[in-house]
Amino acid sequence: MGDEEWKRLNITKGRTSYSQERIWLDEPIRSTYTVKDENLYDYNYVKVYQIEDGFLSINRFRQSIENVIKRNEIFQTELDYSLDEHGIEQIIKKSNKLNDSFEITKVDVFDQDKINEIIYSEQITKHFDLNKGEIFRCHLLKQSNKDKNRLIKNDFILLIFHHSAIDNYSRFLFLKQLTSEYQNEKMNLEENENQLRFIDYSYYERQLDLTKCEEFWQELFSDYSFKQRINLPYDNKLIFISSGSIYSFQIEKSLTRQIFRYKKKQNINFFRLFLSTFYCYLFKITQDTDFSVLGVTPNRYKSQLTNIIGPFENFIVYRHNLDPHQSFNQFIQTIDEFCTNIKENSFYPYQNLIAYARKFGSNQTPFSQVSLRVDIIDDQWNLDPENNLLLNEINLTNHREFKRETKLCPVDLTLNVKINLEKQTIQFYFEYANKLFEEKTIDTFADRFKKILEHLFDIQSNFDLDEEPIYKLSIILPYEESLINDLKVNDRPELTYR
C-alpha cells in the first residue's frame, strides 16, 4: 500500500471510486425489482432522534447543516457515465443551500401512526438521485407553531441519507461535524482547504496496484466450488431477490457481561468474535464446514482517510473451511489470524471478486446467502451540553411501531449485531428474505443462536473452551431435550422379574 502521503488535487471531475462505481451500477438493477413490486422498496437510511431535554434553534441547526454540506463536497457530487473516460465519472457542482432538502412539519408527536407514516415515507422517498448529487435531506417534526424557530422536548429530527451514498462511519462523522458547527466551534479553514477529499481518494485508489491483492483472493478461492450453496433450512423455493423482514432478539444481561469479559480476555475485536461464533452456528444448523460469509469493511486503510465523509465501505467475503475438531479458543485464534490477512487485502473491489466468481459458472448472485454486520452504536446525541440539549435515537429495527416487511433484501440471512460500549449492551437482529423463510423458522434460528452463545459464554456452562471440540457444541432447545429424554424412556425394554 505504501506510506506516502496523498496530496489534495486541484480537480472537480474524475473517475469514481470502486465503491461509487458498484453503487451506481447496482442502482438500476435494484430499481427493476422495486418497479415490478409496488410494495418493495430499497430503503434510505433514516436516523431518527427525539429531543429528551432542552430546545433546538431551527435556524442555527439549518445553518450548521449547510456548513457541513459546504465542507464535504461528496454532498455536491454528481455521478454519470463518461464516454471519454469509458466509465462512471464524478463531478463536483458547488451548492451550499439545502433548498427542498430541509422540511418542517407540524404534527402531534404523540400520534404514533402519523410519526410512523412520515418516517416510512422518508425511508422510501424518491427525492434522491445519484446523478444529481442529491443524497441527503433533513425533516423536522414539531408539535407547536407557538415558537417557529424552536424544537422542544419530544419533537423529532429525521436525518435521511441515500441508502448507500455515504457509509456507516461517515454518518458518525456527519453527526460529529454537525455537533461542532451547532456549538459554534471555529473550523480551521486553512486545514480544510488542504484536507484530502473523497474525489482525491478516488483518483489515488485507481492508481493502486491490485496484483498481489488479486493473487490473495484467487488463492483463497482456488479450491472453492462457486456453484455450491450452504444447506440453510429454507421454507420456500429459492429466488434471486426478495423483500426482507427484521427479527430482533435479546440475551440475558449476565450473558452479555460474560461476552464482554471473554472479548477482553482474548484481546479480539467484536467482529472477529461474532464471526467465529457465527461460523460455529452455521456449522451446527447445516452440518456444512465451508462457508462464505459476506461482510463489510470500513476500507479506510490510510490515516488520511479517517475524517473524510464518503462511501468508502467495501464488501468482502470471509471464506473459511471450519475444522470442527478445533476447540473454540483455538478456532478464535485461527479466525483472528485469518481476518488479519483479509484486512491487509480488503481494498480489493468487490465487483472484481464477483467477476472472478462468474468465470467459474457461479450464479448471478454469488455470496448472497449469509452475511454478518457488527456495528458500534451510541443511542444518545449530546448536541449542545451547555444548554442541556440531549436527543435520544429511536432504534427503528428494535421498535414495534416501526416494523417493516417490504425492505429489499439481497442477502438471504444476515446476522446484525449492535454494540453499545458505554452501556455494555448487545442487540441482535436477523434480517432475512421473508419469501424464503417463515418467521417461525427465524424465531427458531434466534433461539438456537442464543443457545450456542449460552453454551460458549454462560458462566454456568460446562463446555470447556480450551479442550472440547466445536462439534460438541449444542443447539438443542429445552423442549427438544425434553422430547429426546421422553423418547429414551419410552424406548427402554420392559424389565421382567423371575
Mark whether 261 and 404 lie in a shared domain. yes
For residues 365 and 250, state if they share a domain.
Answer: yes
Looking at the structure, tell me whether residues 166 and 258 fall in a common domain: no
Per-residue pLDDT of the chain (498 residues; tens, 9 = 90+): 557 899 999 999 999 999 999 988 887 767 666 666 655 666 688 999 999 999 999 999 999 999 999 999 999 999 999 888 789 999 998 876 677 789 999 999 899 889 988 998 898 877 888 888 889 999 999 998 778 899 999 999 999 999 778 899 999 999 999 999 999 876 665 566 788 999 999 999 999 999 999 999 999 999 998 888 999 999 998 766 678 889 999 999 999 999 999 999 999 999 999 999 999 999 999 999 999 999 999 999 999 999 999 999 999 999 999 999 999 999 999 999 999 999 999 999 999 999 999 888 766 678 999 999 999 999 999 999 998 999 999 987 655 455 566 667 889 999 999 999 999 999 999 999 999 999 999 999 999 999 999 999 999 999 999 999 999 999 999 888 888 877 766 665 554 443
The helix-helix angle for 350-359 and 211-220 (nearest 10°) equals 50
Whether residues 192 and 215 fall in one domain: no
pTM, whole model, 2 decimals? 0.92
Q: The domain that contains 456 carries what CATH number?
A: 3.30.559.30
| Residue finishing a domain among 144, 172, 206 | 206
250 and 289 assigned to the same domain: yes
For residues 368 and 245, state if they share a domain: yes
Domain of residue 263 covers 210-384+396-491
Last residue of one domain, picked from the residues 206, 225, 240: 206
Judgement on whether residues 475 and 412 belong to the same structural domain of the protein: yes
Query: Does 36 share its domain with 116?
Result: yes
- Is residue 391 in some structural domain? no
- Amino acid (1-letter code) at residue 494: E
How far apart are the two ends of the chain, measured CA to CA in Å? 84
Residues 6+ apart with CB under 8 A from 376: 270, 419, 420, 421
Query: In degrees rounded to 5, what are phi and psi of residue 371?
Result: -145, 165
- Alpha-helical regions (H) of 317-468: 328-344, 350-359, 439-457
Say if residue 234 is in the same domain as residue 191.
no
Cell, residue 187: 473550523
Instruction: Assess if residue 390 is contained within a domain.
Output: no
Backbone φ and ψ of 113, nearest 5°: -65, -40
Residue 116: partners with Cβ closer than 8 Å, 6 or more residues away: 401, 402
226 and 196 together in one domain: no
- Residue 384 burial by CB count (10 A; 0-12/13-18/19+): exposed, middle or buried? buried
Q: Contact, 311 vs 23, CB < 8 A? A: yes
CB atoms within 10 A of CB 390: 17
Number of domains in the chain: 2
157, 180, 206: which is the final residue of a domain? 206
Q: Same domain for 233 and 182? A: no
8 assigned to some structural domain: no
* Domain co-membership, 244 together with 151: no
